[in-house]
Amino acid sequence: MGKSLGEVKQTFLFCDGGSCRKAGAENVTRAARAYLRNSGNWDETHTIKTRCNGRCEDAPTCIVEDGHFWYKKLTPEKVVEVIESHLEKNQPVEDYLLYAQDWKAVKSEDERTKFKIKPFEWESHPELGNCQITKGLSSDQYVYPLFDYLHKNVPGASYETASGERFFFRELIELRYTKTVELEMIQEDKTVELVIGAVPKDDQELKKLKITNTHYFYQENSGKVGVRFANNKNELIGYLFLGKPNEKVWEYCTKIQLQNNRLESISV
């Protein structure tokens, strides 16, 4: 029988992403669950493993609701102290807090500078010729939404593999990201897989296939815009062709994918 959620007064969300696991998140979660069970607080609390809390630099992390408290660099001992304080005193443990509701900034010793996408620049590219180009973001949190948007909204878009095989979005039966690292573009007679998820460091074959470099471009000779995907050695994986820069899809790309970076003035 499942837990009665109506009785739950406190929820603990433990990050289970790669960085947190490496930093000992599993032991933190086990210690928390053992304490909740043995202290008699199991039924009025709930623990959840999340895929990623988005704070890799502060691993392992945990979010406590209600109250919206974020904790950083937890250990089994620290997490028990945190739980005790919330359940018995209804107070956070200030020394371990990363963020609390209404704070204007996080409290992190390892805060990373937010990646800022550079403006488009003219370049003589060996494959694309004279073009305006900029580097986008390549994590699956960007690549999958891009393909999902095209699948649902841009039937005229197409994807071309490094070998020249072309897939049109209007012919897709399904776009599926259910495998660990592969995004599948499924047609009636063929499927192409794109490696977009985090791959093991020692898996050299997957690293060759992993999209690590993503460049958005305007090609001067064709007047078209698109996206070039490459691996960590900048070897071509494939191209997205999106049409002309005055089309709606390019507005999506510049606003959502490129932080409002736009092409220089061009004739369209």
pLDDT at 14 over 90: yes
Q: How do the domains of the chain map onto residue ranges? A: 5-100, 121-257
pLDDT at 130 over 90: yes
Predicted local confidence at residue 267, as pLDDT: 56
Predicted local confidence at residue 6, as pLDDT: 85
- With H, G, I as helix, E, B as strand and everything else as coil, classify residue 53: coil
pLDDT tens digits along 206-262: 999 999 999 999 999 999 999 999 999 999 999 999 999 988 999 999 999 999 999
Higher pLDDT among residues 264 and 35, named by residue? 35
> Whole-model pTM?
0.79
E strands along the chain, which residues?
A: 10-15, 45-50, 62-65, 69-71, 97-100, 121-125, 129-135, 158-161, 166-168, 174-176, 182-186, 191-195, 213-219, 224-230, 236-243
- Identify any residues that bridge with 10 across adjacent strands, giving them in sequence order: 45
CB atoms within 10 A of CB 240: 23
DSSP state, 181?
Answer: S
When pLDDT is cut at 50, 70 and 90, the band that residue 134 belongs to is very high
pLDDT at 1 over 60: no
Q: In whole angstroms, what is the distance from residue 237 CA to residue 160 CA? A: 9
Average pLDDT over residues 31-50: 96
pLDDT tens digits along 140-188: 999 999 999 999 999 999 999 999 999 999 999 999 999 989 999 999 9
For the domain covering 121-257, report its CATH number. 3.40.1570
For the domain covering 5-100, report its CATH number. 3.40.30.10
